[in-house]
């Protein structure tokens, strides 16, 4: 009789989540059209005039909405690179940039970086491999010297752990207010994420498992969903269905731009702030973390 191989149910769940996320992240025809146009027409070193694209090329409301989302990422990418490098001591790959900004068209991250590099408002802080397009060197000091980015960069570099948690004011999926005042005196996690973010998909089943385990001991989780501030194409029903499908039982709310800035202008997802009952940030993580790391952070948060 052949030997049967058993698998951890968590593995099956993770594979299912990953496959579904991949299917949902297929590029839209409109975004593909815009990216292919930019790839064919962007000239190195020549700034892109977005108003010309609005008025002369992409004239429908649907096209202009996608173009606006892409344009808004130009000023978020430098902060993502700084936060990622500060946390990991590594330079993000084009794939990791694509995952964070929901770039689903092949070559999209490269062309967005080309546009960003040509924009005079963005400091010249990186070097790239001319063949692969991958970033090979970054200069954080150049970003720190920029008035546009200096304040947020300084806070990112100095770190959050050991400091008082900033306030937050959100609205839950069902329209109720969710604020830091409600969690005063309670150990909790403020979890920044967005729908179908690949590292978030990996994190979600682990986080739900740990929440179920430690909720009886008073541990809370506030999931601040960034779909709206990132201008991603998910409506409230899609978010609610996603949460139900994956078994989220902790509080889910919509992230606001104000709360995003209060927490250092979060641009890496997921980002996690573990806060103890005194309101002090015990642990601050960005990107995917293993179960053992998250469980240790919860235990440390509860023990203080």
Tokens of 208: 């739900």
> What band does 68 get if pLDDT is binned at 50, 70 and 90?
confident
Q: What is the pLDDT of residue 300?
A: 97
Full-prediction pTM beyond 0.75?
no
Q: What is the mean pLDDT of residues 127-131?
A: 95
The sign of the dihedral angle between the CA atoms of 42, 45, 46, 50 is positive
pLDDT at 123 over 60: yes
Q: Identify the pLDDT of residue 11.
A: 42
CB count within 10 Å of CB 140 equals 17
pLDDT at 249: 92
| Tens-digit pLDDT profile for residues 138-179 | 998 888 787 767 666 666 655 789 999 999 999 999 899 999
Q: What pLDDT is recorded for position 209? A: 95
Average pLDDT over residues 117-133: 91
* Buried-state track 225-235, b at ≥16 Cβ within 10 A, e below 16: bbbbbbebebe
Query: CA torsion 156→161→167→168, rounded to 10°?
Result: 70
* Rounded distance between C-alpha atoms, residue 208 and residue 190, angstroms: 14
User: Over 60: is that where the pLDDT of 25 sits?
Assistant: no
Residue 23 has pLDDT above 90, yes or no: no
Report whether pLDDT(8) > 70. no
Distance CA 299, CA 263 (A): 23
- Dist. CA 285–CA 226, nearest whole Å: 17
Dump pLDDT digits (tens) for 245-281: 888 999 999 999 999 989 988 888 999 999 999 999 9
Q: Are 137 and 217 in contact (CB under 8 A)?
A: no
Residue 20 confidence (pLDDT) above 80: no
**DSSP three-state, residue 274:** strand
Q: Who contacts 284 (Cβ-Cβ below 8 Å, separation ≥6)? A: 159, 160, 161, 271, 272, 273, 274
Average pLDDT over residues 196-209: 90
Distance CA 290, CA 19 (A): 20
Q: Which three-class secondary structure state does DSSP give residue 270?
A: coil
Cα–Cα dist 8/4, whole Å: 13
Strands 251-254 and 220-225: parallel
Q: Give me the mean pLDDT over the 221-229 stretch.
A: 95
Percent of the chain at pLDDT > 90 equals 51
Tell me, what's the pLDDT at 37?
94
Query: For residue range 78-96, what is the model confidence (pLDDT) as tens digits?
Result: 888 988 888 888 999 999 9
pLDDT at 10: 46
Q: What percent of the chain has pLDDT over 70?
A: 88
**Confidence band for 290, pLDDT divided at 50, 70 and 90:** very high
Mean pLDDT (the chain) is: 86
160-303 maps to which CATH number?
3.40.30.10
Domain with CATH 3.40.30.10 in the chain: 160-303
In the prediction, which pLDDT does 149 show?
72
**Backbone φ, ψ for residue 293 (5° rounding):** -65, -45
């Amino acid at each position: 009789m052949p030997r049967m191989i058993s698998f951890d149910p968590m593995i099956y769940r993770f594979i299912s989540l990953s496959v579904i996320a991949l299917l949902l992240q297929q590029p839209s025809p409109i975004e593909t059209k815009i990216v292919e146009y930019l790839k064919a027409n962007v000239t190195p070193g020549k700034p892109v005039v977005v108003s010309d694209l609005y008025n002369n090329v992409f004239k429908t409301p649907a096209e202009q909405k996608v173009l606006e989302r892409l344009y808004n990422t130009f000023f978020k990418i430098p902060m993502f690179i700084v936060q990622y490098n500060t946390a990991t001591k590594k330079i993000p790959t084009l794939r990791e940039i694509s995952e964070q900004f929901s770039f689903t068209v092949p070559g999209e991250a490269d062309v967005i970086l080309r546009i960003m590099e040509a924009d005079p408002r963005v400091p010249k802080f990186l070097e790239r491999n001319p063949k692969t397009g991958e970033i090979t060197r970054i200069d954080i000091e150049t970003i720190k010297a920029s008035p546009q980015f200096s304040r947020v960069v300084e806070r990112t570099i100095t770190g959050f752990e050991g400091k008082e948690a900033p306030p937050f004011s959100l609205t839950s999926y069902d329209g109720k207010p969710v604020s830091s005042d409600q969690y005063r005196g309670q150990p909790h996690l403020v979890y920044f994420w967005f729908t179908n973010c690949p590292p978030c998909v990996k994190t979600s089943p682990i986080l739900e498992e740990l929440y179920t385990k430690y909720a009886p001991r008073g541990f809370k989780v506030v999931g601040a969903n960034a779909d709206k501030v990132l201008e991603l194409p998910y409506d409230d029903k899609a978010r609610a269905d996603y949460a139900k499908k994956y078994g989220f039982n902790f509080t889910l709310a919509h992230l606001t731009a104000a709360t995003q800035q209060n927490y250092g202008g979060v641009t890496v997802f997921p980002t996690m702030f573990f806060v103890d009952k005194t309101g002090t940030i015990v642990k601050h993580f960005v990107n995917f973390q293993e179960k053992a790391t998250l469980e240790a952070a919860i235990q440390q948060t509860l023990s203080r």
